[in-house]
A and B are shown apart, each in its own frame.
Chain A
Amino acid sequence: MADGIVVRGLNAWFGDVHVLHDIGITMAPKAVTALIGPSGCGKSTFIRCLNRMHEVVPGARVAGTVIVEGEDVYASGIDPVQVRRRIGMVFQKPNPFPTMSVFDNVVAGLRLAGVRERAVLHEAAERALRHAALWDEVKDRLNKPGSGLSGGQQQRLCIARALAVEPEVLLMDEPCSALDPIATAKIEELILELRSTLTIVIVTHNMQQAARVSEATGFFLLGELIEFGVTRALFTNPHDKRTEDYITGRFG
C-alpha cells in the first residue's frame, strides 16, 4: 500500500536510553489513528519520529523505516525540512508565536517559505482558519496578538497554522491536555471534520477521546507497541492482558 503511514523496525534513543523498541505499524490514509499509553511510554517520541522532529533534541537518534504517503522520510538525501512541510504537528501546549498577530501566526509557515503575495496569504489564512473552525471568532481581530486568544482558541490557531501549509498528515501530541472540556469538544469535532482530507495521528491520555475520534488505536507500553487494531475492538475486546489492564484502569 502506497498511502498512509507505514513504519517498520523503528527504534529511537535519547543518548544511551533506548526509548522505542522495534515499532511496526501501518496507519490508514485519511483516517484518525489514536495512540494511548501511560506517560513515558514513548508515544510522543514515536510521532516525533514520523516528521523527523525527534532528531532535533540533542543526542537523540532514530533507526528504522518510516514511509509517509509513499515516501521514505529517512531515506538518504531527504531533507527533514521538506518532510516537516508535508507533515503538520500540533503540540500539547498551545504555542502561537508571541511576536505575531493572529494573521501572521496562521501564515507563518507560508511566509517563511517565501510566499509574499498578500492575496495568496489572505486566502490561505481564511481557508486555514475556517478549516480550524476559528474564522468566525477571530475574523475581526486578525491583527491582534495571537497570544491574546483563549487557550482553546490558541490551540485552534496552532491547528490553523499547521493546516495553512496544506500538509498531507497532521500529528497531534495530546492537543487537548491543556484545555477545558468545551474547548476539547471543539477540537474533537474539528478532528472528525479534518479526517476526510488528512491522515491524522493523535496521541492522547484520554481513552474516551481515543474512542470518540479514532478508527484505529495503538497501545504503547515501555517503548513497545503492545497492541494495534480497530478502536472499537481494542477497547471492547483487547487481545493482550496488558492492554486490558490499562484500559480498565488497573495500572498506568
Chain B
Amino acid sequence: MTPRVRRVINVIMSWLAAIAAGLVVLPLLLIFGFLLWQGASAVNVDFFTHLPKPVGEVGGGMANAIVGSLILIALAAALGLPLGILGGLYLAESRDRRLPWVARFLADVLNGVPSIVIGIFAYTVLVLPMRRFSALAGAFALAVIMLPIVVRTSEELVRLVPASLREAALALGIPEWKVLLRVVLPTARAGIITGVMVAIARVAGETAPLLFTAFGNRFWHQGLDQPIAALPLQIFAYAIAPYDDWHRQAWAGALVLIGLVFLVSLAARVATSGRFTGVR
C-alpha cells in the first residue's frame, strides 16, 4: 500500500466515523428542535402554575402533572434506588456463583419486559387489593422498571473498583461491610449516578405502566393513595383529544418533560458530586 493510498483511506474512514457520530445525535436534535417549534409557543407561566381547564375552555396548564411526575419519580427512586444499588453491590461482591448468576439473568429478563406488562403487574398487586388507582401503585410500577437498570449498572461500576482499594481497606482492619459502603461504593459513585440518571430519564417518560396505576387526575395531588396526574399521561390524553389548544399543550408538555429530565440529571450531578471522583 503506497503512502498516498493509506492517506486517502485514512481521510475517508475519519469522515465516515465523524458522519456516524453525527447521525447518532441527529435524532435527539431533531426531536428537540421539533418540540421547540411545536411546543414553545404554548409554554408560558400559566402552563407551570395552573390546573387544566375544563373541556371547551382555552388556556390552563399542567402544573398538577408536573408536580405529579416529580412525586412519582421521587417515590419510585426512593423505592428502587436503595434496593437496586445494594443489589448491584451484592451481585458484584458475592463469592457465591449460582445465585448472582440467576439474579443477573432475571434482571436482564426484567429489563426486557414491556412496561405495560409491569403496569398490569402493579395493577394486580396494588390497585386491585386497594380498590383504587394510586400514586403508590404508579411509583411501584416505575420502581420495578428502574430496578434492573440500576442493579446492572451498579454491578458493573462496583466491579470496576480496583481490588487493591478493597485490600487496602481490609488491611486497615475495617469490617467488610464498612469497606463496601464507605470505600467501594463511594469510589463507584460517579458511574452509579450516571446509571441512576438513565433509569430516572427512562421512567420519567413512561406512560403505559401509569395508565392503570397512577391513572391521572385533573386536580392537585390528593394523597399517595389517590390517583395522581403525570406529564406523560397528560400528554397522551391531550394528544389524542380533538382540540387544537390541547394539542399545543401536549407539545408543550413533551418539551417540559424533556427539560425536567435534563434538570433532574443536572441537579443530581451537582448535588452528589464529591470533591474527587473515582471510576466513571
Contact = CB atoms under 8 A, between A and B. Distances in A.
B276 to A, nearest CB: 4
A56 B189 contact: no
Interface string B130-172: 0000000000000000000000000000000010110111111
Interface string A81-101: 111111011010101111111
B275 interface: yes
Interface stretch (A68-76, A105-113, A226-234): A105-113
A216 interface: no
A84 B174 CA distance: 8
A95 B164 contact: yes
Contacts of A93: 164
A112 B187 contact: no
B3 interface: no
A84 B276 contact: no
Given A84-B173, A95-B162, A112-B182, A101 B168 contact: no
A91 B278 contact: no
Interface string B266-280: 000000001111100
A96 to B, nearest CB: 8
A99 B164 contact: no
A101 B175 contact: no
Contacts of A85: 172-173
B275 A101 contact: yes
Contacts of B167: 53, 56, 91, 95
Contacts of A100: 276
Given A58-B95, A112-B178, A99 B171 contact: no
Nearest to A83: B173
Interface stretch (A15-23, A119-127, A158-166, A179-187): A158-166
Interface in B176-231: 178-179, 182-183, 186-187, 189
What is the predominant secondary structure among interface residues of chain B facing chain A?
helix
B169 to A, nearest CB: 7
Given A53-B167, A108-B172, A112-B172, A97 B187 contact: yes
A11 interface: no
B173 A81 contact: yes
From B162, B164, B172, B187, name the one whose CB has the most chain A CB atoms within 10 angstroms: B172
A214 interface: no
A145 interface: yes
Contacts of B170: 53, 56, 84
Contacts of A83: 173
B187 A84 contact: no
Nearest to A93: B164
Contact of B187 (A53, A98, A109, A113): A98
A99 B274 contact: yes
Contact of A81 (B164, B175, B187, B189): B175
B276 A113 contact: no
Nearest to A161: B172
Nearest to A82: B173
Interface in A129-175: 145, 147, 158, 161-162, 165
A220 to B, nearest CB: 21
A82 B168 CA distance: 15
A137 B4 CA distance: 54
B171 A81 contact: no
A51 interface: yes
Interface in A45-66: 51, 53, 56, 58
A97 B173 contact: no
B172 A101 contact: no
A84 B183 contact: no
23 contacts: A51-B171, A58-B95, A81-B174, A81-B175, A83-B173, A85-B172, A85-B173, A88-B171, A91-B171, A93-B164, A95-B164, A95-B165, A95-B167, A97-B187, A99-B186, A99-B274, A99-B276, A99-B278, A100-B276, A147-B276, A161-B172, A162-B171, A162-B172
Given A53-B171, A101-B275, 9 more contacts: A51-B171, A83-B173, A84-B170, A84-B172, A86-B173, A88-B171, A88-B172, A112-B182, A113-B174
Interface of B: 95, 162, 164-165, 167-175, 178-179, 182-183, 186-187, 189, 274-278
In order of increasing CB-CB distance, the 4 nearest A-B pairs are A85-B173, A109-B172, A89-B171, A84-B173
